[in-house]
Amino acid sequence: MSLPEETFLTLGMESSCDDTAVAVLRGERQVEAELLSSQLDDHVPFGGVIPEFAARRHLEAFLPLTEEALRRAGVVDPRREIGLVAVTAGPGLMGSLLVGVMAAKALSLAWNVPLLGVNHLEGHIFANVVSHPELSPPFLCMVVSGGHTEIVLVKKFGTYVFLGGTRDDAAGEAYDKVAKVLGLPYPGGPVVDKLAASGNPDAFDFPSPLKGSPEIVFSFSGLKTAVLTRIKKLRNEGIEISVEDVCASFQKAVTDSLMTKLRLASRRTGVRSVSISGGVAANSALRNALLQEKGWKVYLPPKNRCTDNAVMIAAAGYSAFRRGARSSLDLAPDPSWELWKK
């Protein structure tokens, strides 16, 4: 059955990490329903995501969320009304991905509706496409989250070129680690961002990693050590430190590094349409730095679309489906699926 664009409904499902998300999207970007069950509070006591625990919570959450999403979207008979089931098939945590993929296969089979496995990073790119109808390739997208720091050239939808990434920690991971060092709660990014607002970004000169290197490559693991060493030294000397100043100075170093490499990517490719996505895309310093950049057309996703969500998966899935992509019931999750490797 093929549904016309204006009535085509995609059910999007996301469970690559610690959020279970389901959305119903009409056509390219009209959101009919969007639900998210966050496991954050369950993982907070451990200071990070526990994979096995995450998978079990996805299992409990998926079907109730799906039922509620269909109800909110006014879907009475999914067999006739849903045109596609799009599910994150990688990269991510194996157990978590497996729950989503199995749930999507079951629905696809029961409803006799096409199935499509979506790459999580392509989803992040589409978080911008959903929000900005005028955004069209070629453009750059820097995905910055707890698990990713990658600059991708979107040549056209479906054709992606990897321009550079991190050689160790992801940007969000650096935020989380520095927060831990400072005794702040997980996830660290939002807290550090908030405290940085009342701190002095020039109080400490933390190194902006690999700033002078001609390569598009990031490294954030050393930054955490630099922050830790400096705090310890000052404390040993009996000098009181301002947590706000540490947060602001650390945030400046991360933002400088991200912006330096993004500029390099823009110069090398000649592409001046620039977007960001992922949890760290909600960061106020990064957003401000991008908006101040001269000569670029900047696209920022709204803050609720920076972090993992199912609208972006439905949108990426629908776009790929229209380009002819299909998955069979043999679809298997791939925890390290690289978007640019076909």
Binding site for Zn ion (CB under 5 A): 145, 308
Pick between residue 90 and residue 187 the one whose CB is nearest to ligand KG4: 187
Under rule CB under 6 A, residue 146 binds ligand KG4? yes
**Residue 219: DSSP 8-state:** -
Q: Are 299 and 125 in contact (CB under 8 A)?
A: no
Among 12, 123, 164, 189, binds ligand KG4 (CB under 6 A): 189
Under rule CB under 6 A, residue 172 binds ligand KG4? yes
Least Å distance, CB 4 to ligand KG4, is: 33
Under rule CB under 6 A, residue 91 binds ligand KG4? no
- Using CB atoms within 10 A of its CB, is residue 236 exposed (0-12), middle (13-18) or buried (19+)? exposed
Least Å distance, CB 81 to ligand KG4, is: 30
Least Å distance, CB 249 to Zn ion, is: 27
Look at residue 187 and give the partner it binds from Zn ion, ligand KG4, none, a contact being a CB closer than 5 to 8 Å depending on partner kind. ligand KG4
Least Å distance, CB 214 to ligand KG4, is: 27
Q: Where in 21-50 is the site for ligand KG4 (CB under 6 A)?
A: none
Among 166, 275, 307, 319, binds ligand KG4 (CB under 6 A): 307
What burial letters (b/e) apply to 144-157, b meaning 16+ CB within 10 Å? bbbbbbbbbbbeeb
Segment contacting ligand KG4 (CB under 6 A): 140-148, 210-218, 229-237, 329-337? 140-148
Pick between residue 248 and residue 258 the one whose CB is nearest to Zn ion: 258
Structure tokens, 316? 């990426």
Pick between residue 113 and residue 246 the one whose CB is nearest to ligand KG4: 246
Give 157-176 as a DSSP string.
TTEEEEEEEESS--HHHHHH
Q: Are 253 and 206 in contact (CB under 8 A)?
A: yes
Distance CA(262)–CA(167), nearest Å, equals: 16
For residue 2, how many other CB atoms are within 10 A of its CB? 6
Distance CA(276)–CA(299), nearest Å, equals: 7
Q: Are 245 and 200 in contact (CB under 8 A)?
A: yes
CA distances (Å), origin 87, targets 104, 231, 239, 296? 6, 44, 52, 33
Under rule CB under 6 A, residue 17 binds ligand KG4? yes
Pick between residue 83 and residue 187 the one whose CB is nearest to ligand KG4: 187
Among 187, 199, 201, 209, binds ligand KG4 (CB under 6 A): 187
For 232, the 3-state DSSP assignment is helix
Under rule CB under 6 A, residue 279 binds ligand KG4? yes
Q: Which residues bind ligand KG4 (CB under 6 A)?
A: 17, 145-147, 172, 175-176, 187-190, 193, 278-280, 282-283, 307-308
